[in-house]
Amino acid sequence: MDKLTHLDETGAARMVDVGSKAETRRSATARGRIAMQPATLAAVREGSGPKGDVLATARIAGIMAAKKTGELIPMCHPLALDSVTVAFTFDDGGVVVEATASLTAKTGVEMEALTAASIALLTIYDMAKALEKGMVIEQVRLVAKTGGKSGDWHTE
Amino acid sequence: MDKLTHLDETGAARMVDVGSKAETRRSATARGRIAMQPATLAAVREGSGPKGDVLATARIAGIMAAKKTGELIPMCHPLALDSVTVAFTFDDGGVVVEATASLTAKTGVEMEALTAASIALLTIYDMAKALEKGMVIEQVRLVAKTGGKSGDWHTE
Amino acid sequence: MDKLTHLDETGAARMVDVGSKAETRRSATARGRIAMQPATLAAVREGSGPKGDVLATARIAGIMAAKKTGELIPMCHPLALDSVTVAFTFDDGGVVVEATASLTAKTGVEMEALTAASIALLTIYDMAKALEKGMVIEQVRLVAKTGGKSGDWHTE
Amino acid sequence: MDKLTHLDETGAARMVDVGSKAETRRSATARGRIAMQPATLAAVREGSGPKGDVLATARIAGIMAAKKTGELIPMCHPLALDSVTVAFTFDDGGVVVEATASLTAKTGVEMEALTAASIALLTIYDMAKALEKGMVIEQVRLVAKTGGKSGDWHTE
Amino acid sequence: MDKLTHLDETGAARMVDVGSKAETRRSATARGRIAMQPATLAAVREGSGPKGDVLATARIAGIMAAKKTGELIPMCHPLALDSVTVAFTFDDGGVVVEATASLTAKTGVEMEALTAASIALLTIYDMAKALEKGMVIEQVRLVAKTGGKSGDWHTE
Amino acid sequence: MDKLTHLDETGAARMVDVGSKAETRRSATARGRIAMQPATLAAVREGSGPKGDVLATARIAGIMAAKKTGELIPMCHPLALDSVTVAFTFDDGGVVVEATASLTAKTGVEMEALTAASIALLTIYDMAKALEKGMVIEQVRLVAKTGGKSGDWHTE
C-alpha cells in the first residue's frame, strides 16, 4: 500500500506533498471514444457540421472541465494550466476524443487530460441521448506524458 | 439534426425547455470499469481494506460529482437530487463501479449517474497512477433508467 | 431604503425570504451589445462561420453562467432553470446578444438572463481581444419578463 | 481568423498555450456604469451609507467574481491573482464602477478586471431591481493595462 | 452504525434517499462565536462601523456559503433555499454570529445554517488575522430547527 | 482600522496586494473539536472503523474545502497548495481534527488550514446529526504557522 502515494502509512487519503519537487514543463495527452449506432453517428456528424454546435459544445465542456480537475478529483492539486486542447475524429462506429494539457509545475497533468476527455465524451452522450441511450464510453486512457521526474511515457 | 434535442433549428446549442414536462419520480443507473495489472489491483484492494481510503475517496468523489453535473455538462439542467449511491466490485482484472441517482423532476438523471461513475473511475486512476499509467477506463454506459415520458429502459 | 428588498431594516444585506410566494411559470429576456471596429467584427464573423467556434463558445459560456447566477450574485436564490437560450445577431458595428431564461419558481429569472448576456459578451471580448482592446459592452438590460406577482413587463 | 488567438487553424476553440511566455508583473483596470432613475439612485445611495450594505455587497461580488474568471470565460487561463480592488463613484444618473486586478503571470488580467466590473454592476441591478427594472449597464470596457509583451495600453 | 443515516449497511457513505419524504416548510438557526483580544475587537468594531466593511464581508460570505453547502458537505442534498440571514452581535470578548436558513423541501437546513455561521466566523478571522493569530472559533452549534418529520427542536 | 489589512483607507474591503512579497515555503496547522454524547461518539467510532466511511468522508471534505478557500473567504487569494492533510483523534467526549496545509507562495495558508478543519468538523456533524442535534464545534484555531515575513508562530 505504500506505493499508493495518495495514502499515508495508516491508509488515510492525503494530498501528496509536492513542495520539494522542481517545477518542470509537463504535458499529458489522453484519448477516449464513444461508440454509437450508425444513425446516431450520422446525426452527431450533421449536428457538428457548418450548422451545428455538437462538437463545439463537447470541446468547450472538456476544456472547462480540465480547469476544474482539482475540484473534482479529491487528492489532485489545483494547477495553473498553460494550455488545453480537445480534438475529435470520427471513425466507423463513433467519435474519438484526444485531449492535451500542459503546464510548468511541480506535478503532472495526466488527470487534467483524462478529465477533459471524459467530460467531452459525456457531453456528446448528453447531446445525443434522445436518439440512443445505449452509447458506450470506452478506451479512456493516457496515451503520452512528458516532463517530471518519471520522464516521458507513451503507450506503444 | 432535429432529433438532437440540445440543438435548435439553426444548429445552435440550447438547454431544452422542460417547463411543460410533468414532475415524475426518476432514477438512472450507470456502470463502468477500470482495467489494471494484477499488482496494481492488489494494491488498490489492500488500500481499500480496513486500513485504506482508496474506494471511500472514489465513492465520495462520484457522489459529489453527481451534484456538479449541471455545472460540467453544458446543456444539463441543474437538478435537486434525492439520492446518489456509488458501489464498487472487484473482478479479475479491475474494478467495476455502479452509480445510481434518483429524484422527482421534469427531466432524467442519466447524466448524473454517468458523471458519478466516470469521476469515481478517474479517482481510482488518480490514486493508483504512481503504480501504473496504462490503466484503461471502459464500458461506461447507462444500464437502466425509470420514470419520465420515455418510460423504463434497461440494457438487456 | 426599505424598498431595497435585499436590505433589512438595519441596512444589512439578506436573501429575501420567498417562502410564502407561489410558484409560477416565469421568464425573462435580457439584451446587450459589444461594439467593435469593422476589422474586428469581420474576424468575429469569420470565426463564427462554418469553420469557427467564436459564437458557439460565447453561447455556451452564457448558458453555463445562467446556471451559476446564484453563486455569482450574492443575494440571488439558487434556481432550477427550465430553459436557457442565448442568440446573437450582427449589426453594423458589433454583436447583439439576447438571452432568455425560464422556470417555474417562487422568484424571477431576471438576473439569470442578465448574467447569461453579460458573460456571453465578455466571452466575445476574450476571443477578440488580441485584435482590439477597446471593444465596449453596452446596453445590457432587461427587455421583458413574464410571470410572478408583479406580472408581465417589457421595455417599450 | 488566424488573428483570433483562441481559435486554431481549423476554427476550433482552444486555450492559447502560454507555456513559453515570460512571467511579468501585469495589471488591468476596467470601468462600467449602471444608469438608473433619480429615485432609484437615491435609494442606492441611502442603502450604501452608514447603515446599508448595497455597495459593499457589489464590491465583494466583484472581487469574488474576479477569482472565478477562469471558470466563467471558457478559454481563460486560471490565474493566481495578487490583488483585486473594486471602487464606486456616483454620478448624476447612476453608479460608476472601476475594477483593477494585478498579478505576476504569463498572461494578462484584462478579463478578470472586466468580469469584476460586470458582476459588481449586475449585483447593483439585483439589489435595486424591485424599484426599477429598466436600469441599463453600459460602457463596460478596459481602460488601462500594464505589463506583458504587448506593453502598456490605456484609453485616451 | 445503522443509526448513522449517511452510511449503508456495509458502512459505505451515501446520500440518504429523501425521495419519499414530504416537502414541508423548514428552518434552522445556528450560532457561533469568535473570541479575540480587546484591541482586535476594537479594530473589528471600528472596521464595521460607518466606514468599514468587516461585518458586511462576513455576512455576505456566510450567505454565499449557505448556498454552497451541498458542494462542501459530501452527503448533503443540494437545496433551493428560500432565505438566509446572518447577523452579528458584539459581546465583551468577541463577536457572536447567528445564521438562519429556511426552505420548503424534503430535508432540513441545519447544515446550511451551520455552514453559514462557520464561514462568517472564518471570514472575521481572515479580516483580523494580521492583528491577532490566536483568535478562537467556538460554540458553533444548532440552536433551533422547525419543520420536518422530527418536528421542532431547540436548545434550552 | 489601518491595521485591518483587508480594508483600504476608506474602510472598503479589498484583496491585499501581495505582488511585491517574496515567495517562501509556508505551512499552517489548525485544530478544532466536535463534542458529542457518549452514544453518538460510539456510533462515530464504529462508523469509522474497518466497516465505515465516517472519518474518511470528513477527511476528504476537509481536503477538498482547503482547495476552495479562495472561493469561500471573500478576500483570500487563490492559492496553489502543495499539500493538505487532515487527521482525527478521539478523546473522551468527541473528535479532534488537525489540518495542515503547505505551499510556496507570497501569502500564508492559515485560512486553508482553518477551513479544512471547519468543514471536516461540519461533515462529522452531518454524518451524526440523526443521532444528536446538540453536538458543538469548538476550539477551532490556528496552532502553528511557518514561513513568511512574520516568521514562525505557534500557540504555547
Q: Residue-wise pLDDT tens for chain E (156 aa)?
A: 447 888 888 888 999 899 889 889 999 999 999 999 999 999 999 877 655 689 999 999 999 999 999 999 999 999 999 999 999 999 999 999 999 999 998 999 999 999 999 999 999 999 999 999 999 999 999 999 999 887 899 986
Most C CBs within 10 A among E64, E76, E79, hence the mutation to make, goes to E64
Q: What integer pLDDT is reported at residue E94 of this predicted model? A: 97
- In the residue annotation, E126 being an active-site residue is answered as yes
Cβ of F12 within 8 Å of Cβ of D60? The answer is: no
Distances (CA, A) of E153 to E28, E108, E138, F101, F132: 9, 12, 21, 37, 11
| Cell numbers 479529491: residue | A74
Q: What integer pLDDT is reported at residue A3 of this predicted model? A: 75
Report which of E144, E20, E32 is spatially closest to residue E98, judged by C-alpha positions: E32
- Rounded mean pLDDT of chain B? 92
Q: For D61, which residue in chain F has the nearest alpha carbon?
A: F74
Give the CATH superfamily of C24-147: Molybdopterin cofactor biosynthesis C (MoaC) domain (3.30.70.640)
**Distance separating alpha carbons of residues C153 and D8, to the nearest angstrom:** 43
Q: What integer pLDDT is reported at residue B135 of this predicted model? A: 97
The 10s digit of each residue's pLDDT in F10-22 is: 888 999 899 889 8
pLDDT beyond 50 at C84: yes
Distances (CA, A) of E28 to C18, D150, E25, E141, E148: 16, 54, 11, 11, 11
> What mean pLDDT do residues D79-105 have?
95
Percent of chain D predicted with pLDDT > 70:
96
Q: What integer pLDDT is reported at residue C156 of this predicted model? A: 67
Report which of E120, E125, E126 is spatially closest to residue E140, judged by C-alpha positions: E120
Dihedral-angle region of residue B12 (phi above 0 means left; psi in -120 to 50 means alpha; beta otherwise): beta
Cβ contacts (< 8 Å) between F59 and chain A: which residues? Answer: 12-13
Residue A33, min C-alpha distance to chain B (Å): 9
Given the residues C53, C91, C126, C152, the one annotated as active site = C126
Residue C81, min C-alpha distance to chain B (Å): 7
Q: pLDDT higher for A155 or C136?
A: C136
Cβ of E80 within 8 Å of Cβ of C80? The answer is: yes
pTM, whole model, 2 decimals? 0.96
Q: For A50, which residue in chain D has the nearest alpha carbon?
A: D11
Residue B9, min C-alpha distance to chain E (Å): 33
Q: What integer pLDDT is reported at residue F2 of this predicted model? A: 46
Cβ of D82 within 8 Å of Cβ of F77? The answer is: yes
Q: What integer pLDDT is reported at residue C1 of this predicted model? A: 42
Q: For C50, which residue in chain A has the nearest alpha carbon?
A: A50
So what's the ipTM on this one?
0.96
Query: Grid coordinates in use for D7?
Result: 481559435
Q: Do the Cβ atoms of B126 and A4 come closer than 8 Å?
A: no
User: Which chains are within 8 Å of F by 3+ CB pairs?
Assistant: A, B, D, E
Q: Say how many C-beta atoms besides its own lie within 10 A of residue E45's C-beta.
A: 15
Residue D113, min C-alpha distance to chain A (Å): 19
Q: What 3-state DSSP class applies to A82?
A: coil
What are the E-state strand segments in chain B? 24-35, 83-91, 94-105, 136-146, 153-154
Euclidean distance between the first and the last CA atom of chain D, given in angstroms as a whole number: 28
Q: Contacts for F129-133 with beta carbons within 8 Å, 24 or more apart?
A: F129/E110, F129/E111, F130/E3, F130/E4, F130/E5, F131/E3, F131/E4, F131/F39, F131/F40, F131/F43, F132/F36, F132/F37, F132/F39, F132/F40, F133/E110, F133/E142, F133/E145, F133/E153
**Distance separating alpha carbons of residues E143 and E156, to the nearest angstrom:** 8
Cβ contacts (< 8 Å) between E135 and chain F: which residues? Answer: 141
Q: How confident is the model at residue B11 (pLDDT cuts 50, 70, 90)?
A: confident
Q: For B107, which residue in chain C has the nearest alpha carbon?
A: C82
Cβ of B78 within 8 Å of Cβ of C82? The answer is: no
Q: Tell me the count of C-D CB pairs closer than 8 A.
A: 185
Q: How confident is the model at residue D51 (pLDDT cuts 50, 70, 90)?
A: low
Cβ of F16 within 8 Å of Cβ of D104? The answer is: no
Q: For F103, which residue in chain A has the nearest alpha carbon?
A: A19
Q: What integer pLDDT is reported at residue D2 of this predicted model? A: 46
Cβ of A50 within 8 Å of Cβ of C49? The answer is: yes
Q: How confident is the model at residue C2 (pLDDT cuts 50, 70, 90)?
A: very low
Q: What integer pLDDT is reported at residue A2 of this predicted model? A: 46
Q: Do the Cβ atoms of A29 and A100 come closer than 8 Å?
A: yes
Q: What integer pLDDT is reported at residue E149 of this predicted model? A: 80
> What mean pLDDT do residues D15-38 have?
94
Q: Say how many C-beta atoms besides its own lie within 10 A of residue E123's C-beta.
A: 30
Positions of A marked catalytic: 126
Cβ of E57 within 8 Å of Cβ of D53? The answer is: no
Task: Give the annotated binding-site residues of C for substrate.
Answer: 75-77, 111-112
Angle between helices E110-128 and E54-67 (to 10 degrees): 150
Cβ of A50 within 8 Å of Cβ of C53? The answer is: no
Q: For F155, which residue in chain E has the nearest alpha carbon?
A: E134
**Distance separating alpha carbons of residues D146 and F89, to the nearest angstrom:** 51
pLDDT beyond 50 at B115: yes
**Distance separating alpha carbons of residues B153 and E104, to the nearest angstrom:** 32
pLDDT beyond 70 at A1: no
User: Which chains are within 8 Å of B by 3+ CB pairs?
Assistant: A, C, E, F
Cβ of B83 within 8 Å of Cβ of E14? The answer is: yes
pLDDT beyond 60 at C25: yes
Q: Say how many C-beta atoms besides its own lie within 10 A of residue A3's C-beta.
A: 14
Cβ of A4 within 8 Å of Cβ of B54? The answer is: yes
Query: Grid coordinates in use for E76?
Result: 448533503
Q: What integer pLDDT is reported at residue D133 of this predicted model? A: 95
Cβ of A57 within 8 Å of Cβ of B74? The answer is: yes
Residue A37, min C-alpha distance to chain B (Å): 14
Report which of C105, C110, C64, C53 is spatially closest to residue C86, judged by C-alpha positions: C64
Q: What 3-state DSSP class applies to A130?
A: coil
Q: Tell me the count of A-B CB pairs closer than 8 A.
A: 185
Q: Do the Cβ atoms of F99 and F144 come closer than 8 Å?
A: no
Name residues whose C-beta falls within 8 Å of residue D20's C-beta, 6 or more positions apart in sequence. Answer: none
Q: Which of D14, D74, D78 sits opposite A85 (nearest CB)?
A: D14
The answer to whether the annotation marks B77 as part of a ligand binding site is yes
| Cell numbers 451534484: residue | B67
The answer to whether the annotation marks A64 as part of a ligand binding site is no
D interface toward A at CB cutoff 8 Å? Answer: 8, 12-19, 70-71, 74-75, 77-80, 105-106
> What mean pLDDT do residues A119-146 have?
96
List helix spans (H) across chain A. Answer: 38-46, 54-67, 69-72, 110-128
Cβ contacts (< 8 Å) between E75 and chain B: which residues? Answer: 63
Q: What integer pLDDT is reported at residue D31 of this predicted model? A: 98
Cβ contacts (< 8 Å) between D133 and chain C: which residues? Answer: 110, 142, 145, 153
